Structure 1
Amino acid sequence: MKLNLTTLAALLMAGSAMAQTTVQSCDREVTFDAPPQAAISNDVNLTEMMLVLGLADRMVGYTGISGWNKLDEGMTAGVAALPELSSQYPSREVLIGADADFFFAGWNYGMKVGGEVTPETLEPFGIQVYELTESCIHIGEKDAASMGDMYNDLRNLGTIFDVSDRATALIEGYQTELVTFLADQPALDTAPRVFVYDSGEDVPFTAGRYAMPNALIEAAGGTNIMNDFDKSWATVGWEAVVERNPEIIVIVNYGEVTAAQKREFMMSNPAFADIDAVRNDRLVVLEYVEVTPGPRNIEAVKTLAAAFRGE
């Protein structure tokens, strides 16, 4: 009987060890003893990643969406059963008070370097953090943004929540969808020069080489005029925009200033009259959730590819 109990104990220990899984999160390796059961996601794009993986029943809420007017009709339905715990960035108390065991966030996507909510400050409370891959540039070096960043997050979430088959199927489906779509598009003679206009009038807030739009633009066949800007999302001078003369301007739609107002600002300002995109009225609108890493990146590439080809 003693041998049997020892054997049983060994088997249980082996089963426990097998249940552990480790993923790379920015510069950290994070080990999970079991799939999280009380997860919180921050921001609309990260929340959609959780939803497309079918993880709503593993969540106790989300944060950081309504404070920036980012919910659309489809997303509103998707999170209807979940509470928004904070309209903007959550405090540590909010996450602890929800009895969370997992926080899916990123640097400048719910966490700030040196802020009160970080993987280190949440660890003592049993809350493990997985960081959005695109955001890792804020705490170290990484390659320019790519579609692979989004796929990597889906893959890692699949591993963490033990739904790897679902994640793999999604990723392969997205990849096939894009390849098939782009194969049917007319070839471009040259890659159009593209500027991403997020916000700002005195100085524009735009996407550098480490922000997701850089990857979307390249995937669609264009060139981000700020692809040598070693930043993620940041401000530049209007002089640089005028000098680089974009042929297409991508307007990011969210917040209190509407896409129509941003368009009017670009089209009516005499300082921009000689920019090719303004002169030829080639401005295209993408939603915030489309230009940040997430499932809607696929439709964003399609929209850009069509715009680049004059559709």
Structure 2
Amino acid sequence: MKLNEKHGAAAGAAGRPERADWTIDQGWEQYSAEEHGVWKTLFERQCKLLPGRACDEFVRGMSELTMDAHQIPDFRRLSDLLMKRTGWQVVAVPGLVPDEVFFEHLANRRFPAGQFIRKPEQLDYLEEPDVFHDVFGHVPMLVNPVIADYIQAYGVGGLRAQQLGVLPQLARVYWYTVEFGLVQQREGLRLYGAGIASSFTESVFCLDDPSPNRIGFELERVMRTRYRIDDFQESYFVLDNLEQLLELADIDFAPLYERVSRQSELVPGDVLPGDRVITRGTGTYHRAKQQSQER
């Protein structure tokens, strides 16, 4: 599954919700047996795949939340558990929401989650984030105080970035951390990004495939780097530890935006002379895809 490039496209055919904050009732009692069955299929196959791939914090968060494989989680129960641990809650939205709404929720420790679930024929690809991506992928990491504080700080920073007209640069930081980030742990590289954790295919590709670059995280480098919204990432950025994210929460981004605006943007597969390269990718996957499209 891939996310839209922006946090905020319109909420689809439903149009603008009645509430100003775009929240809706989850309607948990209205999920069908088929919808719970899709959750079960996705949940069980990821739980079999992620041991040895997901970071310790993700595994711990899953354990503390005690999600049930047999049914889509009730946001009310999740919020009760999260509130006790890190002060977060999960609120239902109909799909992608406008940027300012998204940031306002995060800044106030509310995680907006799509309440719909993909169809059985969409198990491996979905354009919009659904309840499996948002809840299975994101919520376990919100149990961790570092991630909980970082995502709140991102919400505050997003509101500021909108005012400065530099949102694309900040969005890249979110993309390459919260959505598609890797972290170095004692046992080796592990994933923590929700876009990977909720994807059966990318959770293998990001760690095992020789094609992508795996590069040490450097903030300005990431802010300059475009990303893929239509396929696996060509480069993944690796934290030395999750605590690095808290350092970002204390940085004054204004001078960074100024410096980055004077530098050229980088394409997703670029490797620079100054990069701390953990794995130099072969690029074979994306090159083969491009060649097949050109035929």
Same fold (TM over 0.5): no
Higher RCO, Cα 8 Å, sep 6+ = 2
Find the structure with the greater CA-based Rg: 1
Tell me the TM-score normalized by structure 1: 0.27
Tell me the TM-score normalized by structure 2: 0.28
